[in-house]
Amino acid sequence: MDVFSRTFLPAAADAGVAMQTASRHMPVFRRCVGSGDATILVTRCSRPDRPVAGEYLLLLTHRRLVVTQQTRVLHRLRLHLNTELRELSNVTWSPDPRLHSVELAATAIDGVRERFLIRTRHPKQVWQLDALLNHAFRTRVRPARERLVATIGDPAPATARPAAFRPVVVR
């Protein structure tokens, strides 16, 4: 059994996703994710801007974000989003423990702003999800300024710039 298979099913069970649902979506996820990529999160989500569009299942690995959609009427599966984490920009999330939810938003490489609402069963899970997203996006996705500096070199030493202009590197 490969790394993806070993980590996908336990992550789906932790999120309360039924095995039947996870098994149904797994072939779509498998086409998008490499066999050596470990699953960080599998969860149901919805789109706050399109509440009647159907159900979504979100998969987050160390390298990719994949979202599948199941239509309401015919229950057909389709791939909604498949992107590497480094291709996402302006990734934000806002935990709301009162509503037991986290809203995740990111701009894909094609410029489309994607928003997903992830509901949890308990307020404590909101903070666990917040920590998980913080680990996945703050440590994996480097800010554009840092990528630019790494590409062309730092124009001036950090000591020569005022503190407000020093790039913050999160590792």
Do 18 and 101 fall into the same domain? yes
The predicted model scores a pTM of: 0.76
Confidence of residue 148 (pLDDT cuts 50, 70, 90): very low
Do 12 and 79 fall into the same domain? yes
Do 124 and 156 fall into the same domain? no
Q: How far apart are CA 33 and CA 40, in angstroms?
A: 12
Nearest to 45 by CA among 129, 117, 127, 99: 117
Do 83 and 20 fall into the same domain? yes
Do 155 and 105 fall into the same domain? no
Average pLDDT, the chain: 81
Do 154 and 102 fall into the same domain? no
Least confident span in 35-44, 93-102, 146-155:
146-155
- For range 162-171, the mean pLDDT: 45
CB of 48 closer than 8 Å to CB of 103: yes
Do 51 and 113 fall into the same domain? yes
For 72, how many CA atoms within 13 A lie in the half-sphere containing its CB?
A: 6
Position with higher pLDDT, 29 vs 73: 29
CATH number, domain of 95, equals: 2.30.29.30
Do 169 and 108 fall into the same domain? no
- For range 52-67, the mean pLDDT: 88
Do 74 and 120 fall into the same domain? yes
CB of 38 closer than 8 Å to CB of 62: yes
By residue range, what is the domain housing residue 167?
143-171
Cα–Cα separations (whole angstroms), residue 49 to 52, 53, 113: 9, 9, 11
Count of domains observed in the chain: 2
Residue 101 has pLDDT above 50, yes or no: yes
